[in-house]
Amino acid sequence: MKPPAKNSPWKTFHTRPEDGSEAGDYYDSTESERYAESNAMRRIQRQLTLRALELAQITLSSSVLDAGCGTGFSLEVLKEVGYNRIAGFDAVPALLKHARAKGFTVKKGDLREIPFKDGLFDSIISVSALQWILAEKTVENASKAAQEFWRVLKPNGIVVIQFYPRSEEEAMLAAKAFRAKGFAVRLITDNPQNPRKRKVFLLLKKP
């Protein structure tokens, strides 16, 4: 995929961890501990999760899956807000250890192979995870994720995915993959002209 043009508002200013490694390789035991103890990361994930819930507009009785739950930062927010039927999964065992220690129901899995049964959830949120599978084979991996999200979601289910696309093209390709599966798709960008503050969300609805 071509990098953003130098004058593009989507220009990135640094190499990100997901640009050069799989999540499981990057988040070894040391990096996982650092992440779990980071107040800055907890604050950022909290803000993103609250924004995702604002977009989702789902009732507190909804069953919610956290796709790419990591150490459980977003699950903490869901519980605090009042959601009781929550679960999560992540590809990195070292991160899941922290989520389990907080008492959450979590499993090892991947966005392309979700470890839960068909039609189990009313809603899915995913914060800062999708970009990890888009570094290579963007269309193929996004399509696999779309298939799995569709599979575990109930009819009329809502999905909010916050992610960090490397370019506007990548964001559009991800949206296209979910639309091709059958989702109604809105691509929402907060602070679109500010690369440092820009946040990208996919708001999806299954008919």
Domain chopping of the chain, boundaries = 23-205
Both structure tokens of 45: 């994930």
Q: What local confidence, expressed as pLDDT, does residue 105 receive? A: 97
Rounded (5°) CA angle 98-69-60 = 110
CA 40 to CA 55: how far, in whole Å?
23
Q: How many CA atoms lie within 13 A of 182 on its CB side?
A: 11
Q: What local confidence, expressed as pLDDT, does residue 2 receive? A: 41
**Amino acid found at 43:** R
Q: Structure pTM?
A: 0.87
Q: What local confidence, expressed as pLDDT, does residue 42 receive? A: 86
CATH 3.30.1490.390 assigned to domain 23-205? The reply is: no
Per-residue model confidence as pLDDT tens for the chain (207 residues): 444 444 445 555 455 555 555 555 555 566 656 766 777 888 999 999 999 999 999 999 999 999 999 999 999 999 999 999 999 999 999 999 999 999 999 999 999 999 999 999 999 999 999 998 997 778 999 999 999 999 999 999 999 999 999 899 999 999 999 999 999 999 999 999 998 899 999 999 999
8 Å CB contact between 146 and 181: yes
CA 122 to CA 130: how far, in whole Å?
20
